[in-house]
Amino acid sequence: MIPLVTASEMRTLDAAAIDELGLPGAVMMEAAGRAVAAAVVRARAEHPGPVAVVSGAGNNGGDGFVVARVLLAAGVPTRAIVVAPPSTIGGDALLHLTVLERSGGTVIDASRDVAVLEQALAGAAIVVDAVFGTGLARPVTGHLAAVIAAINHRGAHVIAVDLPSGIEADTGATLGVAVRAHRTITLGAPKIGIVGAPGFASAGAVEVADIGIPVARARALASAGQVEERDARGWLPLVGRLDHKGQRGHVLVVGGSPGRRGAGRLAALGALRAGAGLCTLAGPGGDGELDAADPIMTRVVDDAAALVKAIAGMDAMVIGPGMPSDEQGRAWLEAILADDAPPIPVVVDATGLWHLVGRPGLIAEPGRDVVITPHPGEAARLLETTVDAVERDRLGAARALVAQTGAVVVLKGARTLICAGDYVAINPTGGPALATAGSGDVLAGVIASLLAQEVPALDAARLAVWIHGRAGDALGDQWGERGAIASDLPDAIAHALRDLAR
């Protein structure tokens, strides 16, 4: 897992480097600026022309002064611009501003008139955004909002220092207005806000610059991490040469009510393509009983007692896809989470989450592994808030759901979050191709399949989300981001698992 840090955690890391390692802040600023300057030089291969470095008053601005000095020394045509009053610049940033000027660099003062900035940006092929850093915690307004608008409207290739100005470091929220970067050179460790949604969309490609902070220290402190391919490979269940279907787990999918059979079938196919040896789709009768395609088995359950009997012999289950939203469905959820029900791992999805609203105690102490998979709308209902509130702070919402339910929480959406306890994993795979009805049902089946194969609940959720996203990426390449449908996903998941195992 790549460690991801909050602004507070980054300040702790900076302080530790200065106080414990004896690494001066000015030296770390020099390392940061040189790393960004190197990225600018690489980018000039595709974006030749002058460079404009736009700096604010804080440490981010100090990094920008180093960038400008290093580029000028290398013979790169560079304009150094400051958009905060020079009298407000202090500390290490002032030191590097002074060194820049003593080295022969001219700094353009655009702190009062955005027209000065626009003139300085004219003709620049690359713009370096060094206006705000991790300390920004209020909406950007006035002159500095106009500065960000000017950077966005010039059409140049934008490289952000640490994070795009205007993006909140912990949540990724846009604080009024934010720079839209093509690349972000983040310092020391990636910030949660530029890896998770919505901030990642403003950050572009993210590179981590080494400024002297040990990775091990960041890993020990970080409260979040980004899933890597090697992590996913490590969570794969082993496949034995003598395996038979009974050893690969039997998944029960509870749902598929009349008129809504497709959701349950998709979950069942996801479970089978992810390696479950057997899968049974259970639901109420009617309209030809349960019409499922081979190799999915079916079982009619018309009451809670029949459902509890169906659980016997199963290794994991999904409840919710296409499940009745009436009292019958409510009774089913209560029955499978009751103390006397077989304690197999459970994935609660879709309508199952509907029946949890106002009753998180149903799974707060179930004595078994439970994974819940809400999309933002379902999360908002469970937390009795709004979708906008969930999307403004997705990590906070995921942690609140864990506190409410005690479950492993998969908060779906762009950069899906997987949360257990206080630690949050952010998944980097997947994209718009997954924005189609039924893709979440497939994901629920994949999670249950891995649970049935005895993968621990948190690992099963993280692996399933990563694989589901990788499959979605492949479908996006094949069909385009609009053309993929959920029934394409199970096969793509099998291919993604095959490739990962290799």
pLDDT in tens, the chain (502 residues): 999 999 999 999 999 999 888 999 999 999 999 999 999 999 999 999 999 999 999 999 999 999 999 999 999 999 999 999 999 999 999 999 999 999 999 999 999 999 999 999 999 999 999 999 999 999 999 999 999 999 999 889 999 999 999 999 999 999 999 999 999 999 999 999 999 999 999 999 999 999 998 888 899 999 999 999 999 999 999 887 767 777 789 999 998 777 788 999 999 999 999 999 999 999 887 655 566 567 889 898 888 999 999 999 999 999 999 998 889 889 999 999 988 889 999 999 999 999 999 988 888 777 789 999 999 999 999 999 999 999 999 999 999 999 999 999 999 999 999 999 889 999 999 999 999 999 999 999 999 999 999 999 999 999 999 999 999 999 999 999 999 999 999 999 999 999 999 8
Same domain, 8 and 88: yes
Show contacts of 179-184: CB within 8 Å, 24+ apart. Answer: 179/129, 179/131, 179/148, 179/151, 179/152, 180/152, 180/204, 181/129, 182/157, 182/158, 183/39, 183/43, 183/157, 183/158, 183/159, 183/207, 184/159, 184/160
For 75, counting Cβ atoms within 10 Å of its Cβ (0-12 exposed, 13-18 middle, 19+ buried), the class is: exposed
Determine how β-strand 2-4 pairs with β-strand 224-226: antiparallel
The tokens of 164 are what?
């795009």
* CA dist., res. 410 & res. 465, Å (int): 8
Using CA of residue 402, residue 406, residue 412, residue 418, what is the dihedral sign?
Answer: positive
Domain count, the chain: 2
Query: To which H or E segment does residue 420 belong?
Result: strand 417-420
For residues 207 and 268, state if they share a domain. no
Give yes or no: residues 166 and 278 share one domain: no
Residue ending a domain, among 222, 256, 272, is 222
Which tokens is 389 given?
């509130």
Q: Nearest CA to 369 among 307, 453, 275, 248?
A: 453
> Of all helices (H) and strands (E), which one includes residue 370?
strand 370-372
Instruction: Examine the fold and report which residue of 180, 201, 222 is the final residue of a domain before the chain moves on.
Output: 222
Same domain membership, residue 343 and residue 492? yes
Q: Which two three-digit tokens encode residue 87?
A: 């009298």
Q: Could you tell me if 198 and 268 lie in one domain?
A: no
Q: Which residues constitute the domain of residue 169?
A: 2-222
Domain boundary pick from 204, 222, 240? 222
Residue 211 sits in a domain of what CATH number?
Answer: 3.40.50.10260
Regarding whether 411 and 426 lie in a shared domain, the answer is yes
Q: CA 355 to CA 333: how far, in whole Å? A: 7
Tokens (6 digits) for 498: 């095959």
Judge contact between 53 and 78, C-beta under 8 A: yes
Residues 240 and 137 grouped into a single domain? no
Do 239 and 213 fall within a single domain? no
Q: Are residues 310 and 404 in the same domain?
A: yes
DSSP 88: G
Domain shared by 141 and 248, yes or no: no
251, β-bridge pairs: 279, 316
Strand pairing report for 250-254 and 224-226: unpaired
Tell me, yes or no, whether 65 and 210 share the same domain: yes
pLDDT of residue 368: 87
Closest CA to 458 of 398, 375, 396, 392: 398
Domain CATH code at residue 348: 3.40.1190.20
67 contacts 76 by C-beta, under 8 angstroms: no
Reduced 3-state DSSP string for 390-406 = HHHCHHHHHHHHHHHHC
Say if CB 166 and CB 137 are below 8 A apart.
Answer: no
DSSP 8-state symbol, 87: G
**Could you tell me if 191 and 154 lie in one domain?**
yes
Copy the structure tokens of residue 41.
């030089």
